[in-house]
């Protein structure tokens, strides 16, 4: 008879358990030292190895020739436990044996000495399903069990277990298994089965399993039934997933506030028999990855995506404000909750996307925060067609207001500098050249540009060389100008029209506005306002020699 993969490759010793060193190492050390507790509690999400470790522990404490805390797997006790011939190891499903009578029967049976093994072991799975009366019946035996009895309790919902039970058990918490470790295990299993799996496919299965190795092996089993060479497309077809290109298309339509494109995409997916609840989950996961990329210093270890998808998602995250990402996450989670209750899933998904594409239709607090954040970043309040424009300043005016390090002849001006600029004043400025006092006023009114790290991320997509030149730099905004505080090498690059155009493109992509560029004279201003410098000038006028250290 065919045996499914998660049963066929169930670990036989602690060393084979994937991703739970905090449990396996402690248990091995205790068994090696001869310290066997009377009650253990294994907690954690599904498919992380709780029942597996319970069976290994039951064999290890009864093994006739243990090896460094692990069962040998060869003695008659180990083989008997594997085949079920040894009756001293009892596995109970608390979901179907949760009454008081079941526990009373267990207590009476526990008084008898083991028939073949050293310990009588009771593994109670899903112990949180026991009734209150059953917990009370178990309590006294769990507190003072016979010397030959060991209880191993396993649960996915530890918060439902009474505190009186928790205090009498040695607790071990099982974590979700990292995606990289699951992918490595899938590759090993596929190799043992004489099949092949692409790294991207293994990573996709690991991401879908949500840290549960059993779920990952079950999905791999299905994929191998479809194709012995498992690719990412095979996984998508088997699991009925939405392709990543649709997720980028939907999130792009939301970013561009294009409801027509979003609804057309939904119609195409619905006609292809895509489940709307699964689509909502996938799009929510897409925005979660964007949130992690946006907020974490090193998100690559957490976001389980292929390299090319990660690069594309990084660029999209850089162009999307955090307020918009959080609003989309909240709206999608709410839609998923409504889908699980009742109603037409397609209509629910379409309504949600329509609200996300038009935040003014959403009266929630998150939508309001998103709209305020857009206004603070200088984005037009409605569509781009409704925003007022003004005539650009002549190239001579921009050059006159800036030092020669960034100025350029009118003939070499970047094409972006000639585009219409969004108006920020009631009256259009005069086209006359800017005097030196106006340049000082621009510097004085400069405020920090909070979106500068995002701009540099977008710039890295255009050119790694330019982006690296601005490492450690900062930027300020004043009216129509972005003033940059960077090293001299960065300004040398900005002298070139093509490089300057890439910088302006990155700024426009993040802020929604086209700015002129200039240097930020922070050091000169500090020296000018330095009171010690003024005292030195007075001393020199009085004929006093100033000694500089």
Please tell me the predicted confidence (pLDDT) of residue 537: 55
Q: Same domain, yes or no, for 188 and 159?
A: no
Domain annotation covers residue 78:
yes
Q: Same domain, yes or no, for 280 and 310?
A: yes
- 17-36: burial string, b at 16+ Cβ within 10 Å, e else: bbbbeebbeebbebbeeeee
Q: Which residue has the tokens 């710039």?
A: 459
Q: Tell me how far apart the alpha carbons of residues 372 and 134 are, in angstroms, rounded to a whole number.
A: 55
413: its two tokens: 């001006």
Q: Same domain, yes or no, for 43 and 161?
A: yes
- CA-based nearest residue to 242, from 202, 203, 200, 208: 208
Q: Tell me how far apart the alpha carbons of residues 126 and 43 are, in angstroms, rounded to a whole number.
A: 10
Domain annotation covers residue 73:
yes
Domain annotation covers residue 299:
yes
Please tell me the predicted confidence (pLDDT) of residue 367: 65
Please tell me the predicted confidence (pLDDT) of residue 524: 45
Please tell me the predicted confidence (pLDDT) of residue 84: 82
Domain annotation covers residue 415:
no
- Total count of domains within the chain: 4
Q: Same domain, yes or no, for 25 and 145?
A: yes
- CA-based nearest residue to 40, from 135, 100, 127, 115: 127
Q: Same domain, yes or no, for 234 and 132?
A: no
Q: Which residue has the tokens 């200088």?
A: 378
Q: Give the range of the structural domain holding residue 195, as residue numbers without chain letter.
A: 179-239
Q: Same domain, yes or no, for 141 and 213?
A: no
Q: Same domain, yes or no, for 139 and 232?
A: no
Predicted TM-score (pTM) of this structure: 0.57
500: its two tokens: 């300057």
Q: Same domain, yes or no, for 152 and 300?
A: no
Question: 3-class SS at 470?
Answer: coil
Please tell me the predicted confidence (pLDDT) of residue 416: 38
Domain annotation covers residue 549:
no
Question: Any idea what the CATH number is for the domain that residue 65 is in?
Answer: 3.40.50.300
- 511-522: burial string, b at 16+ Cβ within 10 Å, e else: bbbbbbbbbbbe
Q: Tell me how far apart the alpha carbons of residues 217 and 3 are, in angstroms, rounded to a whole number.
A: 12
Q: What is the pLDDT of residues 228-269, one digit of tens each?
A: 899 988 888 887 665 578 899 999 999 998 999 999 999 998
Segments in the chain below pLDDT 70: 240-243, 362-437, 465, 522-549
Q: Tell me how far apart the alpha carbons of residues 114 and 532 are, in angstroms, rounded to a whole number.
A: 90
Q: What's the 3-state SS for 227-262?
A: CCEECHHHHHHHHCCCCHHHHHHHHHHHHCCCHHHH
Question: 3-class SS at 343?
Answer: coil
Q: Same domain, yes or no, for 64 and 86?
A: yes
**421-422 and 389-390 strand pairing:** antiparallel
Please tell me the predicted confidence (pLDDT) of residue 370: 65
* End-to-end CA separation in angstroms for the chain: 89
- CA-based nearest residue to 352, from 376, 332, 371: 332
Question: Any idea what the CATH number is for the domain that residue 330 is in?
Answer: 1.20.272.10
Q: Tell me how far apart the alpha carbons of residues 475 and 519 are, in angstroms, rounded to a whole number.
A: 9
Please tell me the predicted confidence (pLDDT) of residue 305: 74
Q: Same domain, yes or no, for 32 and 168?
A: yes
Burial of 465 (0-12, 13-18, 19+ CB in 10 A): exposed
Q: Tell me how far apart the alpha carbons of residues 249 and 421 are, in angstroms, rounded to a whole number.
A: 29
Q: Same domain, yes or no, for 183 and 169?
A: no
Please tell me the predicted confidence (pLDDT) of residue 53: 93
Question: 3-class SS at 230?
Answer: strand
Q: What is the pLDDT of residues 487-520, one digit of tens each?
A: 777 777 777 777 788 888 888 888 878 888 888 8
Domain annotation covers residue 100:
yes
DSSP conformation letters of 28-93? HHHHHTT---SEEEEEESTTSSHHHHHHHHHHHHH-SS-BTTB--S-SHHHHHHHHT--TTEEEEE
């Amino acid at each position: 008879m065919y045996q499914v993969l998660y049963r066929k490759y169930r670990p036989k010793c602690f060393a084979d358990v994937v991703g739970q060193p905090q449990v396996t190492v402690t248990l091995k050390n205790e068994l090696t030292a001869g310290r066997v507790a009377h009650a253990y509690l294994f907690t954690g999400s599904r498919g992380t190895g709780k029942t597996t470790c319970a069976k290994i522990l039951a064999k290890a404490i009864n093994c006739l020739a243990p090896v460094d805390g692990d069962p040998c797997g060869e003695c008659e006790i180990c083989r008997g436990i594997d085949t079920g011939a040894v009756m001293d190891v009892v596995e109970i499903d608390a979901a179907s044996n949760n009454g008081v009578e079941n526990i009373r029967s267990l207590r009476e049976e526990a008084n008898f000495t083991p028939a073949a093994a050293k310990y009588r072991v009771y593994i109670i799975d899903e112990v949180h399903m026991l009734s209150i009366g059953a917990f009370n019946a178990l309590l006294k035996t769990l507190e003072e069990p016979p010397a030959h009895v060991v209880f191993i309790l396993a649960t996915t919902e530890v918060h439902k277990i009474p505190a009186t039970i928790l205090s009498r058990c040695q607790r071990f918490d099982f974590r979700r298994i990292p995606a990289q470790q699951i992918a490595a295990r899938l590759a090993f299993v596929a190799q043992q089965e004489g099949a092949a799996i692409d790294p991207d496919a293994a990573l996709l299965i690991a991401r879908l399993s949500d840290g549960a190795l059993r779920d990952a092996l079950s999905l791999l089993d299905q994929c191998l039934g479809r194709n012995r060479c498992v690719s990412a497309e095979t996984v998508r077809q088997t699991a009925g997933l939405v392709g990543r290109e649709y997720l980028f298309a939907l999130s792009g339509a939301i970013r561009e506030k294009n409801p027509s494109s979003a609804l057309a995409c939904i119609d195409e997916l619905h006609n292809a028999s895509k489940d709307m609840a699964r689509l909502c989950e996938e799009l929510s996961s897409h925005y979660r990855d964007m949130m992690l990329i946006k907020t974490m210093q090193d998100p690559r270890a957490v976001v389980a995506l292929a390299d090319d998808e990660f690069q594309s998602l990084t660029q999209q995250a850089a162009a999307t404000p955090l307020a918009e990402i959080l609003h989309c996450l909240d709206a999608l989670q709410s839609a998923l909750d409504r889908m699980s209750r009742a109603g037409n899933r397609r209509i629910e998904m379409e309504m949600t996307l329509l609200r996300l594409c038009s935040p003014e239709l959403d009266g929630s607090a998150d939508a309001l925060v998103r709209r305020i954040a857009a206004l603070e970043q200088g984005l037009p309040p409605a569509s781009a067609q409704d925003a007022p424009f003004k005539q650009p300043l002549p190239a001579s005016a921009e050059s006159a207001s800036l030092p020669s390090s960034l100025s350029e002849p009118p003939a070499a001006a970047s094409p972006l500098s000639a585009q219409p600029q969004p108006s920020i004043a009631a009256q259009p400025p005069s086209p006359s050249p800017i005097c030196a006092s106006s340049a000082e006023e621009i510097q004085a009114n400069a405020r920090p540009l909070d979106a500068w790290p995002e701009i540099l991320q977008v710039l890295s997509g255009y050119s790694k060389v330019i982006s690296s030149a601005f490492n450690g730099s900062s930027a300020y905004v004043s009216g129509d100008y972005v003033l940059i505080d960077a090293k001299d090498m960065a300004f040398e690059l900005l002298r070139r029209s093509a490089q300057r155009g890439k910088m302006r493109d990155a700024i426009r992509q993040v802020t929604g506005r086209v700015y002129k560029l200039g240097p930020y004279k922070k050091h000169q201003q500090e020296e000018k306002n330095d009171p010690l410098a003024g005292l030195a000038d007075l001393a020199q006028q009085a004929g006093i020699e100033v000694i500089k250290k």
